[in-house]
């Protein structure tokens, strides 16, 4: 299970990197001569020209996905949807997201549509499938060359077609840094004078947290789950520690696919309720799971206390809430 190591490396690398690393940038002149202008299909079933319609003159963030993936790749899309949120209304105007399937045979436009709506992606984000040969040719040009689906990398490609600047990055990088990296692909933005960003590293928080589960949650669970703010890609985890046994939670967090394979009724019911995306197997151990469960329990308690009514001396109706 190579990707377990890769996730660990991605997390460590993301924690270490604070400023864009110039040595990573491999400015290449990838223009229309390099990027194929093949006809492809979007998640809406529309046929478009890959270069002319999706790349030309745009700043793009390209990821490589397949919707049946059960390991960490849904996390890539989830992290990118957080990036989309942070880039705000620039997305669809100057900055565009492209998710290329690496499994064009199975990933039909309908399937991509279902997947994209699970992440509630906006109109500036195109999911691309098409003729398997053509899709392969395009992915190959971006360095996505794995023969085996599960080996495809969780790498993203960032580029500005207008300036011909292209670079690789990771969706697991610190989000604030990714925002800066993407924005600095725009020469106008780069040349502006602006005060230094103060909290460049705040998204990382790995070493600073006193709640051991908190940093982990923020990094790899929050892209898909909230605690008390509603369903995201997966269910709201508020009160989950009251709904479920700790041992079940620990087992599920460590390996949801295993519980599904064992036909665990709760895991099956969840999969039916959230059909578009599977909770990934994230390579977490028992201690990580225990920390996460403690954090979920603590947050649930904290939210309850925040919402408990203040003690009122002369409460009418007799429904005083202090015990
Ligand atoms: C890529 C999105 C994604 C990521 C990342 C993710 N989950 Fe999930 N999670 C889901 C989905 C979708 C479900 C619904 C069940 C399923 O599909 O297996 C789920 C279900 C759950 C459940 C069961 C909830 C219930 O109501 O019983 C728990 C607990 C959970 N996730 C915890 C976590 C924790 C902890 C992390 C981080 C270590 C995490 N998840 C990361 C998508 C995700």
Residues 232-289: pLDDT tens digits? 899 999 999 999 999 999 999 999 989 999 999 999 999 999 988 888 888 899 999 9
User: 321: which 2 tokens?
Assistant: 């809430």
Pick the atom of ligand 1 nearest to 216's CA. Answer: 38
Asked if domains 2-191 and 212-307 share a fold, the reply is: no
How much is the pLDDT for 200?
44
31 three-class SS: coil
Q: Does domain 212-307 have CATH number 1.10.760.10?
A: yes
Return the structure tokens found at 96: 């565009």
253 lines ligand 1 (CB under 6 A): yes
Alpha helices in 119-201 (DSSP H): 132-141, 175-183, 187-191
pLDDT by residue (tens digit) across 26-43?
444 566 678 999 999 999
Alpha carbon distance 276, 253 (integer Å): 19
Please name the residues in contact with 277: beta carbons below 8 A apart, sequence gap of 6 or more. 67, 74, 115, 118, 119, 224, 233, 234
Instruction: Give the Å distance between the CA of 227 and the centre of ligand 1.
Output: 12
Q: Is the pLDDT of residue 10 over 70?
A: no
Between 179 and 320, name the one with better pLDDT.
179
> What are the structural domain ranges in the chain?
2-191, 212-307
pTM for the full predicted model: 0.71
How far is the CA of 36 from the CAs of 33, 53, 63, 167, in angstroms?
A: 7, 11, 17, 18
**Class of the CATH domain delimited by 2-191:** alpha beta
Residue 53 has which token pair?
């319609």
Q: Which residue reads 């002149």 in tokens? A: 29
Q: Does 213 contact ligand 1 (Cβ within 6 A)? A: no
Say how many Å lie between the CA of residue 187 and the centre of ligand 1: 39
DSSP 24: G
With a cut of 80, say whether residue 107 has pLDDT above it. yes
What is the distance in A from the centroid of ligand 1 to the CA of 81?
16
Q: How many CB atoms lie within 10 A of CB 151?
A: 11
For residue 283, what pLDDT is reported? 83
């Amino acid at each position: 299970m190579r990707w377990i190591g890769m996730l660990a490396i991605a997390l460590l690398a993301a924690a270490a990197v604070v400023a864009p690393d110039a040595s990573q940038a491999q400015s290449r002149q990838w223009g229309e001569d390099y990027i194929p202008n093949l006809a492809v299909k979007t998640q809406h079933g529309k046929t478009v020209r890959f270069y002319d319609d999706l790349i030309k003159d745009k700043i793009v963030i390209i990821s490589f996905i397949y919707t049946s993936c059960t390991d960490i790749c849904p996390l890539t899309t989830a992290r990118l949807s957080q990036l989309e949120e942070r880039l705000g209304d620039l997305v669809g105007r100057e900055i565009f997201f492209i998710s290329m399937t690496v499994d064009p045979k199975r990933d039909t436009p309908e399937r991509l549509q279902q997947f994209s709506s699970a992440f509630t992606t906006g109109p500036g984000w195109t999911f691309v499938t098409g003729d398997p040969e053509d899709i392969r040719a395009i992915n190959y040009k971006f360095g996505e060359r794995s023969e085996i689906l599960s080996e495809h990398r969780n790498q993203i490609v960032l580029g500005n077609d207008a300036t011909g600047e292209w670079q690789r990055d990771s969706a697991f990088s610190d989000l604030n840094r990714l925002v800066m990296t993407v924005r600095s692909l725009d020469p106008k933005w780069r040349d502006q004078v602006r005060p230094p960003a103060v909290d460049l590293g705040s998204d990382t928080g790995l070493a600073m947290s006193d709640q051991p589960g908190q940093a982990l949650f923020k990094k790899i669970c929050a892209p898909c789950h909230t605690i008390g703010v509603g369903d995201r890609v997966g269910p709201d985890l508020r009160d989950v520690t009251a709904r479920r046994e700790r041992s079940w939670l620990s087992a599920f967090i460590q390996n949801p696919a295993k519980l599904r394979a064992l036909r665990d009724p709760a895991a099956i019911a969840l999969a039916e309720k959230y059909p578009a995306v599977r909770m990934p197997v994230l390579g977490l151990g028992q201690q990580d799971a225990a920390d996460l469960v403690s954090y979920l329990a603590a947050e649930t308690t904290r939210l309850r206390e925040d919402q408990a009514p203040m003690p009122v001396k002369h409460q009418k109706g007799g429904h005083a809430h202090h015990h």
